[in-house]
């Protein structure tokens, strides 16, 4: 398929003596700390990667990113003034600039449109998590992922734990039957608070909302979608990426009550019901001064697998095991494997699981917001869109934050 | 060559490096530092009268136990029987002024109040007010890495983070605490001995004194569970490696040796890496726990950090580093204290 394409971005990185000498051009969309980190990992992944386009809505973030990239990548960062794309449509400029790969690292609300445009233009994609904030976004990503598969494009998702050696080995054993039939999964993601940027006089409402995107649920999806989704992705990994039947949840905000925190919650607790009576429970909070925890426990009929992220990777039971090797750099592995896949013509496509894991978090959020137990089917069919359409974004656009959700009162799918 | 004696350097921060050398100058003794309220804490001006004390921090349930270290001259470097490494040689004669050192590695019980503003029960002392204390960015992971919090050493902080902690503590207590210089650290660790370990040369005894690869189970352990050294300091070897203030330089002792004997040397950290860290950690083997063994921070400690620039505050997934505090017997001037705390983070790409 790719072999017949005339688009330069779909050109084959053919096998042969000089195959690895061919330059791979990379564009970054979303020049924050994470995007800049991803671009550096791309540079480190392959000596013939060049960064040739940058896009962001904020000039200061773009320039800071460029400064950092130049320090690390030196002359492999080929960015002149014409290669800097600013504004809500910057992604189109980056995608059309002749790059082979785009790194999609903006806040999540924009991801479905960015991903769609990148795949339609035939670009390989590194796609940060989460990939959407609502069901229409998830469906769009699933459709684009399918198109990417047809076009033999690689799609590597930012669900980085899937690229970490210790977790690959543990989940490989779990899926291989080492703890027997799985009955229950629990995940916890308990932490503290995050950054906040004070409003500046020259900012419009939209500037303020975009600078503090984390606290606007139509931009971030709320913290369970933005952060705790990693735990739900591991939960999904443990059950073989089967989809749940329905979910029940609760949540609210007790600490994050100040207006500056927009409309997101500070805690959620959710039960997922899978076929055959399998249950999975997720607890998450962002409340400073509380005990941190980032754990996964998978209970099987013949054992239990436990993860404390960063410190414990263990299976107890009939086939005990624990991981004592070094912690690999999963952020780098993601890019190593992406660029190796591009070089070898054997694409990776994380599209389906990255969309479904994101949807797990959207379902969890929505059953907690509403207090209404909801099936996966109903949730993923929802037409409720949380924010403006991509073409409507403008610095003078007034987009009122929805009220903080009240269980029993808030209706999302009306 | 600016590791000492560079008093005339125009760069403000360099004068801080020199501070370690000139702080004992009689001219500076009378310079005002906001005084602590416990008279026992500042009446002692000579080693004869210095005593252990507990530094209380209003609002915190735990204090920081400090033990006196007498001034003196010692032989810095590989004085033991082990082959050692090239960076431990040549042995140099070094004079060190008296100071107090924290009896234990600083535990999360204290450090956490600094890290999390909303959970900080302490209050600023008006007479010790400095320009705002900069706090760490909220860590997005559990920085204990599941190794334990109450009674366990604080870990994974950067050098900058550790210095800002000292600033926070100064604003709460009015007492100037700082990181030990590499010379002070080794002097306190040797505690008057010249053997491979302060307790002798037999590594098989290490289990009585230190948490290291052979007995730690791969984790940090509660502070103070092992025997102290001769000067009453616990966990100087093992558990967590400890920050010094100094830039690491493999040829440091060569440089010192060219000056014969030196007093209060300190190599100013102009670069983000490498910084000298001492004592070895729960992951290290016996050889790395010798009192003369040297180690250093490196960029790989921050490799697993998804953001660029990387965090000024934390080494994600590097739980081997912690800190211990020093209080110079004769406090530096207010100017020098301000300069010490004016340390700016160096961007890490």
Characterize the bridge pairing of strands A49-56 and A84-86. Answer: parallel
Residue-level pLDDT at A12: 59
Please state, in angstroms and rounded to a whole number, the distance separating the CA atoms of residues B181 and B16.
12
Q: Using the predicted structure, report yes or no on whether residue A13 has a pLDDT greater than 80.
A: no
- How many A×B Cβ pairs under 8 Å? 83
Any CB–CB contact under 8 A between A332 and chain B?
yes
Question: What backbone phi and psi angles, to 5 degrees, belong to B39?
Answer: -60, -30
Interchain pair B304, A227: CB under 8 A: no
Three-state secondary structure call for residue B303: coil
Please state, in angstroms and rounded to a whole number, the distance separating the CA atoms of residues B283 and B210.
11
pLDDT band (50, 70, 90) for residue B40: very low
pLDDT, tens digit (0-9, with 9 covering 90-100), for B120-133: 889 888 766 666 77
- CB-nearest partner of A289 from B118, B139, B309: B118
Please state, in angstroms and rounded to a whole number, the distance separating the CA atoms of residues A324 and B289.
22
- Residues 83-102 of chain B with CB under 8 A from chain A are none
pLDDT, tens digit (0-9, with 9 covering 90-100), for A60-112: 999 999 999 999 999 999 999 999 999 999 999 999 999 999 999 999 999 99
Residue appearing with tokens 């494009």: A153
Characterize the bridge pairing of strands A182-191 and B326-328. Answer: unpaired
- CB-nearest partner of B138 from A194, A309, A332: A194
Mean pLDDT of B23-33: 29
- CB-nearest partner of A331 from B118, B147, B304: B304
Is the CA virtual torsion A332, A227, A209, A289 positive or negative? negative
Q: Where are the alpha helices (DSSP H) in B212-315?
A: 252-257
Burial of A300 (0-12, 13-18, 19+ CB in 10 A): buried
pLDDT, tens digit (0-9, with 9 covering 90-100), for A182-238: 999 999 999 888 889 999 999 999 999 999 999 999 999 999 999 999 999 999 999
CATH architecture of A8-161: 3-Layer(aba) Sandwich (3.40)
Residue-level pLDDT at B347: 87
Extract the tokens encoding A112.
């479905």
C-beta separation of A310 from A173 below 8 A: no
CA B153 to chain centroid:
13
Any CB–CB contact under 8 A between A311 and chain B?
yes
Please state, in angstroms and rounded to a whole number, the distance separating the CA atoms of residues A148 and A153.
5
DSSP B83-95: ---GGG-S-EEEE
Please state, in angstroms and rounded to a whole number, the distance separating the CA atoms of residues A335 and B266.
42
Mean pLDDT of B168-185: 96
Please state, in angstroms and rounded to a whole number, the distance separating the CA atoms of residues B88 and B13.
27
User: For a pLDDT cut of 70, what percent of chain B falls above it?
Assistant: 84
- Residues 239-268 of chain B with CB under 8 A from chain A are none
Sequence-distant (6+) residues with CB within 8 A of A382 are A134, A135, A136, A366, A412, A413
Peptide bond into A186 cis (omega under 30): no
Is the CA virtual torsion B186, B189, B193, B196 positive or negative? negative
B122 to chain A, closest Cα gap in Å: 14
C-beta separation of A273 from A245 below 8 A: yes
Mean pLDDT of A306-327: 90
Measured CA distances, A225 to A47, A174, B139, B220 (Å):
34, 25, 19, 33
Any CB–CB contact under 8 A between B346 and chain A?
no
B161 to chain A, closest Cα gap in Å: 17
B124 to chain A, closest Cα gap in Å: 19
Residue-level pLDDT at B168: 95
Mean pLDDT of B65-91: 97
| Chain B residues near residue A227 by CB distance under 8 angstroms | 140
Please state, in angstroms and rounded to a whole number, the distance separating the CA atoms of residues A20 and A345.
12
Is the CA virtual torsion B20, B26, B31, B37 positive or negative? positive
Residue A331: name the closest of B311, B313, B302, B273 by CA. Answer: B302
Rg over CA atoms, chain A = 21
| CATH class entry, domain A162-328+353-392 | alpha beta
A254: enclosing H helix or E strand: none
Residue-level pLDDT at B123: 85
Any CB–CB contact under 8 A between B300 and chain A?
no
Between residues A103 and B29, the one the model is more confident about: A103
Measured CA distances, B237 to A315, A369, B104 (Å):
33, 52, 11
User: For a pLDDT cut of 90, what percent of chain A falls above it?
Assistant: 88
DSSP secondary structure code for residue A303 in this structure: E
Residue-level pLDDT at B9: 31
Measured CA distances, B257 to B5, B291, B300 (Å):
14, 19, 31
Residue-level pLDDT at B1: 31
pLDDT, tens digit (0-9, with 9 covering 90-100), for B208-240: 999 999 999 889 999 999 999 999 999 999 999
Average pLDDT, chain B: 85
C-beta separation of B237 from B69 below 8 A: no
- Name the packing angle between helices B334-341 and B159-173 (round to 10°): 140
CA A222 to chain centroid:
13
pLDDT, tens digit (0-9, with 9 covering 90-100), for B94-148: 999 999 999 999 999 999 999 988 778 898 887 666 667 788 887 767 778 778 8
Between residues B20 and B155, the one the model is more confident about: B155
C-beta separation of A239 from A274 below 8 A: yes
Residue-level pLDDT at B2: 33
Any CB–CB contact under 8 A between A40 and chain B?
yes
Please state, in angstroms and rounded to a whole number, the distance separating the CA atoms of residues B141 and A311.
11
- CB-nearest partner of B349 from A32, A71, A294: A71
pLDDT, tens digit (0-9, with 9 covering 90-100), for B237-261: 999 999 999 999 999 999 999 988 8
Please state, in angstroms and rounded to a whole number, the distance separating the CA atoms of residues A156 and B256.
53
Three-state secondary structure call for residue A300: strand
Please state, in angstroms and rounded to a whole number, the distance separating the CA atoms of residues A191 and B204.
41
Q: What is the reported pTM?
A: 0.83
- Which chain B residue has the Cα nearest residue A307? B146
Any CB–CB contact under 8 A between A312 and chain B?
yes
Any CB–CB contact under 8 A between A160 and chain B?
yes
Extract the tokens encoding B66.
């400090």
Any CB–CB contact under 8 A between B306 and chain A?
yes
Residue-level pLDDT at A2: 42
Any CB–CB contact under 8 A between A293 and chain B?
yes
Q: Using the predicted structure, report yes or no on whether residue B51 has a pLDDT greater than 90.
A: yes
pLDDT band (50, 70, 90) for residue B4: very low
Any CB–CB contact under 8 A between B121 and chain A?
no
Residue appearing with tokens 């033991």: B80
Residue B166: name the closest of B245, B220, B275 by CA. Answer: B245
Residue-level pLDDT at B175: 95
Residue A110: name the closest of A245, A192, A210 by CA. Answer: A210
Any CB–CB contact under 8 A between A197 and chain B?
no
> A157 pairs with which residues across the strands?
A127
- Chain A interface test: which of B216, B306, B310, B319 (most A C-beta within 10 Å): B306
Residue-level pLDDT at B127: 67
Q: Centre a 10 Å sphere on the Cβ of residue A351 and count the other Cβ atoms it contains.
A: 26
Any CB–CB contact under 8 A between B305 and chain A?
yes
pLDDT, tens digit (0-9, with 9 covering 90-100), for B155-173: 999 999 999 999 999 999 9
Three-state secondary structure call for residue B49: coil
Interchain pair A68, B309: CB under 8 A: yes
Locate the domains of chain A by residue range.
Answer: 8-161, 162-328+353-392
Question: What backbone phi and psi angles, to 5 degrees, belong to B6?
Answer: -90, 55
Residue B302: name the closest of B272, B280, B278 by CA. Answer: B272
Extract the tokens encoding A110.
């924009």
C-beta separation of B94 from B3 below 8 A: no
Please state, in angstroms and rounded to a whole number, the distance separating the CA atoms of residues A207 and B246.
43
Q: Using the predicted structure, report yes or no on whether residue B285 has a pLDDT greater than 70.
A: yes
> B327 pairs with which residues across the strands?
B100
Is the CA virtual torsion A342, A347, A353, A355 positive or negative? positive
Any CB–CB contact under 8 A between A45 and chain B?
no
Residue appearing with tokens 């300091």: B233
Please state, in angstroms and rounded to a whole number, the distance separating the CA atoms of residues B208 and B231.
16
Extract the tokens encoding A327.
């912690």
Please state, in angstroms and rounded to a whole number, the distance separating the CA atoms of residues B185 and B63.
21
Query: How crowded is the C-beta side of B276, counted as CA atoms within 13 Å?
Result: 28
Measured CA distances, B126 to B34, B117, B164 (Å):
10, 18, 18
C-beta separation of A368 from A250 below 8 A: yes
Q: Centre a 10 Å sphere on the Cβ of residue B25 and count the other Cβ atoms it contains.
A: 10
Please state, in angstroms and rounded to a whole number, the distance separating the CA atoms of residues A385 and A283.
26
B346 to chain A, closest Cα gap in Å: 13
Please state, in angstroms and rounded to a whole number, the distance separating the CA atoms of residues B52 and B48.
12
Residue A155: name the closest of A356, A334, A359 by CA. Answer: A334
Least confidently predicted of A48-57, A344-353, B122-131: B122-131
């Amino acid at each position: 398929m790719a072999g017949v394409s005339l688009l330069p971005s779909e050109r084959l990185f053919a096998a042969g003596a000089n195959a690895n000498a061919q330059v791979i051009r990379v564009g970054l969309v979303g020049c924050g700390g994470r995007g800049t980190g991803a671009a550096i990992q791309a540079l480190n992944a392959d000596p013939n990667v060049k960064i040739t386009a940058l896009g962001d809505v904020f000039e200061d973030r773009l320039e800071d990113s460029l400064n950092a990239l130049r320090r690390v990548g030196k002359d492999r960062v080929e960015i002149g003034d014409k290669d800097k794309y600013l504004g809500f449509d910057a992604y189109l400029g980056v995608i059309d600039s002749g790059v082979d790969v785009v790194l999609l690292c903006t806040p999540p609300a924009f991801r479905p449109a960015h991903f769609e445009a990148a795949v339609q233009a035939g670009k390989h994609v590194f796609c940060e998590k989460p990939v959407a904030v609502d069901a229409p976004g998830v469906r769009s990503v699933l459709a684009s992922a399918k198109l990417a598969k047809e076009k033999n494009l690689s799609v590597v998702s930012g669900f980085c734990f899937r690229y970490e050696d210790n977790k690959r080995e543990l989940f490989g054993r779990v899926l291989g039957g080492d703890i027997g039939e799985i009955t229950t999964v629990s995940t916890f993601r308990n932490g503290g608070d995050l950054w906040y940027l004070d409003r500046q006089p020259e900012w419009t409402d939209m500037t303020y909302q975009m600078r503090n995107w984390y606290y606007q649920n139509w931009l971030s999806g709320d913290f369970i979608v933005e952060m705790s989704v990693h735990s739900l992705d591991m939960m999904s990994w443990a059950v073989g990426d089967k989809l749940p039947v329905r979910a029940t949840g609760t949540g609210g905000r007790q600490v994050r009550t100040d207006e500056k925190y927009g409309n997101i919650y500070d805690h959620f607790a959710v039960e997922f019901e899978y076929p055959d009576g399998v249950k999975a429970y997720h607890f998450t909070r962002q409340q400073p001064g509380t005990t941190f925890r980032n754990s996964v426990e998978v209970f099987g009929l013949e054992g239990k697998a436990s993860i404390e992220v960063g410190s414990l990777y263990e299976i107890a039971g009939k086939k005990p095991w624990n991981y004592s090797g070094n912690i690999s750099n999963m952020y780098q592995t993601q890019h190593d494997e992406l660029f190796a896949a591009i070089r070898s013509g054997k694409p990776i496509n994380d599209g389906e699981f990255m969309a479904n894991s994101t949807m797990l978090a959207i379902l969890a959020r929505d059953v907690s917001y509403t207090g209404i137990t909801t099936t996966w089917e109903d949730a993923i069919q929802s037409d409720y869109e949380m924010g403006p359409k991509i073409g409507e974004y403008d610095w003078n656009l007034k987009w009122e934050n929805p009220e903080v959700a009240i269980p029993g009162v808030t209706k999302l799918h009306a | 060559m600016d590791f000492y004696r560079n008093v005339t350097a125009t760069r403000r921060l360099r004068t801080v490096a020199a501070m370690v050398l000139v702080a004992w100058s009689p001219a500076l003794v009378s310079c005002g530092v906001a005084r602590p309220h416990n008279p026992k804490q500042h009446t002692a001006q000579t080693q004869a009268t210095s005593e252990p004390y507990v530094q209380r921090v209003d609002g915190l349930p735990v204090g920081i136990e400090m033990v006196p270290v007498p001034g003196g001259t010692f032989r810095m470097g590989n004085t033991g029987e082990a082959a050692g490494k090239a960076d431990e040689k040549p042995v140099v004669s070094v004079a060190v002024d008296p100071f107090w050192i924290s009896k234990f590695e600083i535990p999360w019980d204290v450090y956490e109040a600094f890290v999390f503003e909303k959970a900080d029960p302490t209050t600023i002392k008006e007479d010790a007010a400095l320009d705002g204390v900069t706090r760490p960015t909220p860590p997005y992971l559990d920085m204990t890495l599941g190794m334990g919090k109450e009674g366990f050493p604080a870990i994974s902080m950067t050098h900058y983070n550790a210095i800002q902690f000292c600033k926070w503590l100064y604003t709460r207590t009015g007492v100037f605490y700082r990181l030990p210089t590499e010379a002070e650290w080794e002097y306190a660790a040797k505690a008057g001995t010249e053997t491979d370990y302060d307790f002798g040369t037999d590594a098989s005894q290490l289990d009585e004194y230190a948490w290291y690869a052979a007995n730690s189970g791969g984790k940090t352990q509660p502070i103070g569970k092992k025997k102290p050294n001769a000067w009453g300091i616990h966990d100087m070897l093992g558990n967590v490696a400890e920050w010094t203030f100094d830039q690491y330089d493999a040829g440091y002792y060569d440089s010192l040796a060219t000056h014969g004997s030196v007093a209060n040397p300190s190599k100013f950290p102009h670069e983000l890496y490498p910084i000298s860290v001492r004592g070895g950690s729960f992951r290290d083997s016996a050889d790395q726990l010798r009192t003369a063994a040297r180690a250093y921070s490196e960029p790989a400690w921050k490799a697993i950090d998804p953001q660029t620039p990387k965090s000024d505050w934390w080494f994600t997934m590097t739980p081997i580093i912690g800190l211990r505090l020093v209080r110079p017997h004769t406090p530096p001037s207010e100017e020098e204290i301000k300069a010490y705390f004016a340390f700016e983070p160096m961007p890490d790409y």
